Structure 1
Amino acid sequence: MAQRHAGQVIVDALARHGVPRVYSVPGESFLAVLDGLYESAIETIVCRQEGGAGYMAEAHGKLTGEPGVALVTRGPGAANAMVAVHAAWQDATPMVLFVGLIPTAHRQREAFQAFDIRAWFGTQAKRVFVLDCAERAGAIVAEAFHAARAGRPGPVVVGLPEDVVSAAVAVDDHPVLPVAEGGVSAADRACIRDALAGAERPLLFIGGPRWTATAAAAVTAFAERYDIPVVHDWRASDRIPFDSPVNVGWLGYGRGDHAARLLADADVLLSIGALPTDVPSDGYTLRQSMQATHIAVHIDPELRGRSGALTHHVLAAPTALVEALAGLDPSPAVDRTEWRADARAAQAAFAELPALSRLPETAVGTVHMTRVVAEVVARLPADAIHCFGAGNHCFWAQRYLPTRVFPSQLSLRNGSMGYSVPAAVAASLECPERTIVAIAGDGEFSMNGQELATAVQHGAAMLVVVMDNRQFATIRAHQEARFPGRISGTRLHNPDFAALGRAYGGHGETVTADDQAAPAVERALAVVQRERRPAVVHVHTDQRFDAP
């Protein structure tokens, strides 16, 4: 049996797991892995900061359902990547983070960049492995990928001591470990059928991990056939098409009041993949009655994050529900057209872009963000992918950008900033045939905007709309509410973001008046779609209008 260093064994294991690319900031602690990638078909995406690399891996996991992979070095590199691990933990996203470590002989001696990987990541990862035996390299990768994908998905961290990963071994390749999808029993089917058939005001609440395009289409067809309204979890609005007659919006920050009323008034709630956690329940205030009927189809046996009553738990991923729905007939005994139609009408009004002629006048040198978003929406193909992170600017993306296919929305539910550009890079690399749009605030863009250099280097193309209101607007809004007139620590002095986009090798546009919006968006999208380069549209906005 031929010998390979453990780094090569790891790369060969990644290839067996179908990994198309890894996102990395290089470090001397894992040179053997970089050497293994030298002749590999796996593409190495060289990122500018470990937080950006981690976000790209998280976005890949969310987009594909398969673990995204990031490679970072010890100490500072691991610290920078922690933000993405936290995001993957809270969003239940499959991700594997490889972290180079000091040589084993240097442990417990306060060596350069030493840290306790289990102590750092133990509360925010599903598993933390340390490769202390080179012969176990392939097995550790297989176990890491299985843990990241199984049950409620999430991040897994693998520590790679410098000396162990460089050691030569002669081992067989470890096979990929299968992941169970759960199942829907006859009793589960009967429970769902009887509850929905007898309901006057049924509601589906959907989101979470383990979805596929097939599962999303099946749930859409089922809800439309039986006139059951569907409300999405926060930042997970792409399971039911934007224009479907049963799509009645989403819960969480910025939601319409009608969505909260639906959750409160439904006599039967069927959750699929999602749970009424903190944000969708308005801080554990909506639907908390212990007498409410709630059936949850969820792959996590622990139902972490659940609030309120639970009538029945179906231990299954959304993908396992598809076959059960095909033969399920919960024909209602009552007419539910009005229940669904009223809900849909409220959502349609909420999601409709306002008449541009009626927008309030903004200060000289600024434009209303709604006008720019309207120009973007008018030019997007049906399968566009939208990326956004955290901040008031996200309300425009969540409310108005249409999600007509799954997957088409990449965002975070942990309120982490700096995600939009890295997510767009990952989406463009994975889906080069689709148009990618990132909506960013000035503060959000400034955290990882340097990954535009990564996009240019590796051929990723996306439209990045930067809403510049010269402040951390979300925090300022809280500040104004609690300490009126005492603005402290939330103002920003910003660069010329359009010039910055050009400096990185992309295209840049500046919008400071209403009549500039349409031609700027038109030119920027042409560069993205025809030249395969990123384009930045720098939108100067009026601080008085920080939300739609």
Structure 2
Amino acid sequence: MTLTAPTNESGLPTASPTTKSAGHVIVDTLVSHGVKRAYVVPGESYLDVLDGLHESVIDTVVCRHEGGAAYMAEADGKMQEVPGIAMVTRGPGAANAHVGLHTAWQDSTPMVLFVGLIPYEHRDREAFQEFSPKAWFSSGAKRVMVLDHAERASEIVAEAMFAAVSGRPGPVVVGLPEDIIKHQIPAALHPRIPVATGGMTVTDWKSLHDALQEAEKPLFIFGGNDWTDEGARSFTSWLEEHHLPAAAEWRCEGTVPFASPSYVGPIGYGRPKPTYDLLEETDLLVFVGTVPGDVITDGFNVRQNWSQKNFLITMDPSLRGRSGPVTHQIVAKPDVFVRDLIRMDLPVKDEWVAWTSRMRAEQEKFAALPSAEPTGGPARMDTLMAHLVPRLPEDAMVTFGAGEHTNWAHRYFPTNGYASMLSARNGSMGYSVPSAVAASLRYPGRTVVTIAGDGEFLMNGQELATAAQYGATPLVVVMDNQEYGTIRTHQERDYPERVSGTQLKNPDFALMAQAFGGFGVRVEDDADVPAAVDAALAATAEGSFALIHLIVEQRVKAY
């Protein structure tokens, strides 16, 4: 494929007043779609796009690993209505970014991953770093597109942005051959493609209205990444007015605030037994923005009787990932559903008041902070949370990846607003630091705490360099028990006294934080926890990231 265009002394195409390179048009199209930030690891395969970013209003955040860049973009997609943007190079770069793509797929997060590719003319000759984007990504992305015709650059970007947010949100991959993006094309941009938001039909409204009127123990479950602050607040107000309870999908806490009298706890791995029992006890479940999947139903075992009533509100007509009965599906994005829901003024039943009050009391008991009095032994996460939580502002955010250390965040962290908890619902490790960096850059001045395990931290801990470079100020808590704790727990259950492949020997993470230019403190004794929390919070207030390396009690050594 060959396009003709004027060239400069170096033989490269030059722009006329009405033309630009395809790479620059890609950047302009992202700007027109409201993109504020792109997370990149540079590569020679997409130099023209990087050149387009040079004078763009888009902030270019240079990351230290493609996995970190992809995680940051995925976290960005959770916090806003515009898809998160990551850019990586071909072959190894694309492979490293795949972990963030899988997270976006299972978490239903709008994200666009741009991947530089080998030149068009070199294709199918096993050129340096050649791979097939469609073969690699098609099973874990909503769409995989390759820009083979330069003049379609703006159209392809518009299609990618549309696909990422339409229906059930998710990731889209766009391949950019390095020679194609240098061609000069008309500078006109493709318009945004409008996204259908659905809504309740008359039949939907009446079906839900009747089901609620008949129910004595209804329960709403909220989740997903397709909300707005306004929709979350309206939803919470309606629930509170009607004394109706709501539980959070695993790692989706905050849409209904932690302090709301309607919030009755999280439903997911490690959930308290009263919340677990709710799924079978309730006579009506209403899922908003999510579906009853593997984690909620405890491996497709709970709530499987088709005589039980389940209403599912989602923009995915295919109900991908659903388990158990479906009484009625309402095809709508959460905000639009809530817009219609708040017009439903129902008489409050005494049974609703008693039901919600009972479960709320259980949640308050579960979330009550432990004693703040330090013990005389090794450092404890309970003591840290007891000192940290009272110091947090109402809009504080928490992020984390996967592991037993996350249980403290689920239980104690006061999430008060949509996207105040960012995590990887696919159980992906290494998410904590990148997501905290993205959150801190998205909301400068806001308190962002991330809780990492020692096994998870080193998977992307190098992104603290990115935090230092761009002024992100998260507080990082590393709980160090010198093992992959979750796997050790499973091992002890299934293969007692045969611990294998889970033990770790760690460096001093506090010194590592200092080497990256932040504040770091190592804590071994519980008595030193309060002072460490104070010092770390003071450091973030002064404009630095901070890290607390908490050496907690070790379990019995490997047998």
TM-score by length of 2: 0.95
Q: Any idea what the Cα deviations from partners look like across 1:232-281, whole Å, max 9, x if unmatched?
A: 10000111110111111111101011111111111111111111100011
Shift of 1:368: 1.1
1:383 paired residue number: 395
In the TM superposition, what are the counterparts of 1:122-201 in structure 2 within 5 Å?
A: 122-201=138-217
Shift of 1:356: 4.2
Q: Any idea what the Cα deviations from partners look like across 1:489-520, whole Å, max 9, x if unmatched?
A: 11111110000000000000111112211111
Shift of 1:325: 2.0
1:469 paired residue number: 481
In the TM superposition, what are the counterparts of 1:22-421 in structure 2 within 5 Å?
A: 22-332=38-348, 334-357=350-373, 362=377, 366-421=378-433
Matched, 1:537 2:553: no
Shift of 1:361: 6.5
CA distance in 1, matches of 2:243, 2:210: 16
Of residues 254-263 and 51-60 in structure 1, the stretch that sits farther from structure 2 once superposed is 254-263
Give % identity.
53
Matched, 1:494 2:509: no
Write the letter of the residue equivalent to 2:391: R
Matched, 1:440 2:440: no
CA distance in 1, matches of 2:341, 2:249: 21
CA distance in 1, matches of 2:321, 2:383: 38
CA distance in 2, matches of 1:208, 1:405: 14
Write the letter of the residue equivalent to 1:11: V
Matched, 1:510 2:526: no
SS at match of 1:335: helix
Check conservation: 2:371, 2:383, Cα contact below 8 A: no
Check conservation: 2:293, 2:322, Cα contact below 8 A: yes
Check conservation: 2:243, 2:348, Cα contact below 8 A: no
Give unmatched runs, 5+ long, in structure 1: none
SS at match of 2:300: coil
2:440 paired residue number: 428
Check conservation: 1:23, 1:70, Cα contact below 8 A: yes
Shift of 1:535: 0.5
CA distance in 1, matches of 2:555, 2:239: 40
Shift of 1:209: 2.5
Shift of 1:333: 5.2
Cα distance, 1:31–1:492 mapped onto 2, change above 3 Å = same
CA distance in 2, matches of 1:273, 1:229: 16
CA distance in 2, matches of 1:336, 1:140: 50
CA distance in 1, matches of 2:284, 2:348: 12
Write the letter of the residue equivalent to 2:89: T
Check conservation: 2:519, 2:544, Cα contact below 8 A: yes
Check conservation: 1:243, 1:404, Cα contact below 8 A: yes
Check conservation: 1:23, 1:47, Cα contact below 8 A: yes
Matched, 1:450 2:471: no
Write the letter of the residue equivalent to 1:119: A
Check conservation: 1:392, 1:473, Cα contact below 8 A: yes
CA distance in 2, matches of 1:369, 1:253: 19
SS at match of 1:336: helix
CA distance in 2, matches of 1:532, 1:371: 25
Shift of 1:167: 1.2
SS at match of 1:322: helix
Shift of 1:332: 4.5
Of residues 176-185 and 334-343 in structure 1, the stretch that sits farther from structure 2 once superposed is 334-343
Check conservation: 2:266, 2:410, Cα contact below 8 A: no
Instruction: Please provide the CA RMSD for this pair.
Output: 1.4
How many equivalent residue pairs? 541
Write the letter of the residue equivalent to 2:548: V
Q: Any idea what the Cα deviations from partners look like across 1:76-98, whole Å, max 9, x if unmatched?
A: 00000000000000000000000
CA distance in 1, matches of 2:501, 2:522: 26
Check conservation: 1:199, 1:332, Cα contact below 8 A: no
CA distance in 2, matches of 1:39, 1:338: 60
Write the letter of the residue equivalent to 1:270: V
CA distance in 1, matches of 2:322, 2:255: 20
CA distance in 1, matches of 2:81, 2:207: 29
Shift of 1:226: 1.2
Q: Any idea what the Cα deviations from partners look like across 1:169-205, whole Å, max 9, x if unmatched?
A: 1242111111111111122111111111111111111
Q: Any idea what the Cα deviations from partners look like across 1:187-233, whole Å, max 9, x if unmatched?
A: 21111111111111111111112111111111111111111111110
Q: Any idea what the Cα deviations from partners look like across 1:25-46, whole Å, max 9, x if unmatched?
A: 0000000001101111111100
CA distance in 1, matches of 2:149, 2:385: 53
CA distance in 2, matches of 1:414, 1:424: 17
CA distance in 1, matches of 2:486, 2:285: 32
CA distance in 2, matches of 1:5, 1:525: 47
Shift of 1:385: 0.8
Write the letter of the residue equivalent to 2:498: R
Of residues 485-494 and 77-86 in structure 1, the stretch that sits farther from structure 2 once superposed is 485-494
Cα distance, 1:497–1:200 mapped onto 2, change above 3 Å = same
Q: Any idea what the Cα deviations from partners look like across 1:334-378, whole Å, max 9, x if unmatched?
A: 532221111111111111122345x8864xxx2111111221112
TM-score by length of 1: 0.97
CA distance in 2, matches of 1:30, 1:192: 50
CA distance in 1, matches of 2:95, 2:219: 42
CA distance in 2, matches of 1:360, 1:257: 28
SS at match of 1:428: helix
CA distance in 1, matches of 2:479, 2:357: 35
CA distance in 1, matches of 2:376, 2:530: 17
Check conservation: 1:65, 1:209, Cα contact below 8 A: no
Q: Any idea what the Cα deviations from partners look like across 1:154-175, whole Å, max 9, x if unmatched?
A: 0000000011011111242111
Write the letter of the residue equivalent to 2:303: R
Write the letter of the residue equivalent to 1:24: V
Q: Which runs of 4+ in 1 moved over 6 A?
A: none
Matched, 1:527 2:546: no
Check conservation: 2:147, 2:180, Cα contact below 8 A: yes
Write the letter of the residue equivalent to 1:422: P
Check conservation: 1:440, 1:465, Cα contact below 8 A: yes
Check conservation: 1:196, 1:332, Cα contact below 8 A: no
